[in-house]
Structure formats: C-alpha cells, structure tokens
Amino acid sequence: ASSVAVNVVVASRSGRAEDRARQAIAAIAIAADPSAHHAVLQGARGSLVASILPNGTGVFIAHDLAAPPSGSIYELWVAKDARYIPVRTFSPDGGDVVLPFNVDAGAYASVAVTVERHYVTQPTRTPAYSGSLST
C-alpha cells in the first residue's frame, strides 16, 4: 500500500512538472512573439511581466512574488479605455507564477494586479502592481 501511495505522489509531481513545462513553453512563445505587447509591473516585491498577443492570448509571469495576505488572492486585470477588465485570480506557488490567459482581442493600455478576498468584476483596492503595455 505504501508503494502505491509513493507512486501516486511521484505521478502527481511528474504531472505537475509536465504541466509547468508546457506552461513555460507556451509563455516563452507568447513573450517572444514580435507582435506581443509587454508590460513590466511595478510594485512592492518581485519581478512581474505580462505579454499579450493581438488576438488576446496572453501570459503573466511572476518571480519572487509574496503570498497574498491570509484569506486573500491576487487578481489580474487588463485596462482598456480607463476601465479594468478581470482576467484571472491566482496565488503564487513558492513565489512563482506562470499564468496563461485569454482576453478579447483589442488594444489594452495596461495590466494590474490587486489583492482581493475573492474574484470580483471591478477592483476593490488600488492595484498592488501595475504597468503600461508597450505599443
């Protein structure tokens, strides 16, 4: 029975590693695409970048991002015409995030991250991180 449990844990970890590898490859492809628009997000701690293709396919990557306060999550936003559009909620895994996403195609001005209690359709707080998208 213990060898079955070990095999399940190893398979689970292997599956997570494969998922992370696929996400990393997709992230590299999006970030390296010459048509992508990029934002470097400024905030308290960590290295955060977002890349969005003209078709709305994007990726958000963070390194050394602190965990949100207890009972909270991070929410990723894109801004267009002075209006925030919710993208996804997330929590870092050991400080790291590779978050693929899709938004409607269009010209977005910036990307932001807020700390929220749960998914919301408009930010309830000032962004903890934000950055303008390159044009």
* pLDDT at position 51: 94
Percent of the chain with pLDDT over 70: 87
Beta bridge partners of 84: 79
Phi, psi (degrees; rounded to nearest 5) at 82:
60, 25
Q: Give the count of domains, the chain.
A: 1
The answer for residues whose C-beta is within 8 angstroms of residue 33's C-beta and 6 or more apart is: 51, 53
Count, in order, helices (H) and strands (E) of the chain. 1, 8
In this prediction, residues 13-33 reach a mean pLDDT of 75
Alpha-carbon span 124 to 91, nearest angstrom: 18
Q: Which of the 8 DSSP states describes residue 81?
A: T
Q: Domain of residue 104: give its range.
A: 2-132
In this prediction, residue 5 carries a pLDDT of 36
Residues 61-82 as b or e (16 or more Cβ within 10 Å = b): bbeebeebeeebbbbbbbbeee
Contact at 8 Å (CB) between 101 and 87? yes
Residue 10: helix, strand or coil by DSSP?
helix
Q: Which band of pLDDT confidence, cut at 50, 70 and 90, is reported for residue 46?
A: confident
